[in-house]
Amino acid sequence: NAGVTQTPKFRVLKTGQSMTLLCAQDMNHEYMYWYRQDPGMGLRLIHYSVGEGTTAKGEVPDGYNVSRLKKQNFLLGLESAAPSQTSVYFCASRGGQTSNQPQHFGDGTRLSIL
Amino acid sequence: QKEVEQDPGPLSVPEGAIVSLNCTYSNSAFQYFMWYRQYSRKGPELLMYTYSSGNKEDGRFTAQVDKSSKYISLFIRDSQPSDSATYLCAMSAMDSSYKLIFGSGTRLLVRP
């Protein structure tokens, strides 16, 4: 029962470097979301996808790009990392068309930008 | 002003106490209200889900929604040390993307 798997779990980058965070779900869910969690700020939505091949901006999209080429994967990219992007990143997925379906979360990627 | 406000705590209670956690919100379009529990270094997991106003009970947990006051609550009865975690409220409007807006979370510590 893998659910939502995030890779890597930890990463340290230098300012200006690029990287891609991978989210994979095995529940055949249509909807996928990327959040960041910072102290005192709760979870804030970066980008989301309502199906394979679709992406849309969330609350804090600047400095990030996403792709959903396969239904089970949702990639979050940082083209030029900045210290302000130091955070814990969570991916979530959701199935169904009814309102009472929960979002299922991975265990996060802890990213530090020096 | 944030759309969803939540006291960050920490809230420390003795084992067996009744815990009350609360959130207020400003967007009257919110229809769906959730409570998530997050253990340290883990992702959030859904605890309770409520649609519109009213109460919902599940074991030791009761969720209340008062849309007229824009106020939601989570009560935990007979609290246990294993309940020690951060509790996040989340809500959404009638939106085909099912986006959630989260509170900042309340850290709860239940002392044995």
pLDDT one-digit tens code per residue, B33-47: 999 999 999 999 999
A vs B, Cβ pairs < 8 A, gives 60
pLDDT band at B93 (very low <50, low <70, confident <90, very high): confident
Q: How many whole angstroms separate alpha carbon B78 and alpha carbon B97?
A: 37
CA distance A17 to A79: 7
Does A40 contact chain B (CB < 8 Å)? yes
Among the partner-chain residues B32, B43, B97, the one whose CB lies closest to the CB of A106 is B43
Cβ pair B77, B21 in contact under 8 A? no
- CA A4-A10-A11 angle, to 5 degrees, is 125
Which chain A residues contact residue B4 at CB under 8 A? 42
Is residue B7's pLDDT more than 90? Answer: no
Q: What rounded mean pLDDT belongs to chain A?
A: 93
pLDDT-derived band at B52, boundaries 50, 70, 90: confident
A3 DSSP 8-state letter: -
pLDDT at residue number A2: 72
Residue B27 confidence (pLDDT): 92
Give the angle B51-B53-B59 at the CA atoms, nearest 5°. Answer: 70
- A-chain CB neighbours of B105 within 8 Å are 42
- Residue B75 or B52, more confident: B75
Contact across the interface for B100 and A103, Cβ inside 8 Å? yes
pLDDT tens by residue, A10-55: 999 999 999 999 999 999 999 999 999 998 888 999 999 999 999 9
The two three-digit tokens of residue B52, written as one number: 């519109």
Q: Which residues of A touch B94 (CB under 8 A)?
A: 99
**Mean pLDDT score across all residues of chain B:** 93
Shortest Cα distance from B32 to chain A (angstroms)? 8
Statement: residue A86 has pLDDT above 70: yes
Rounded CA-CA distance A36/A109 in Å is 9
Q: Does B85 touch chain A (CB under 8 A)?
A: no
From chain B, pick out residues whose CB is under 8 angstroms from the CB of A31. 97-98
| Inter-chain residue contact B99 with A94, CB threshold 8 Å | no
Per-residue pLDDT at A57: 96
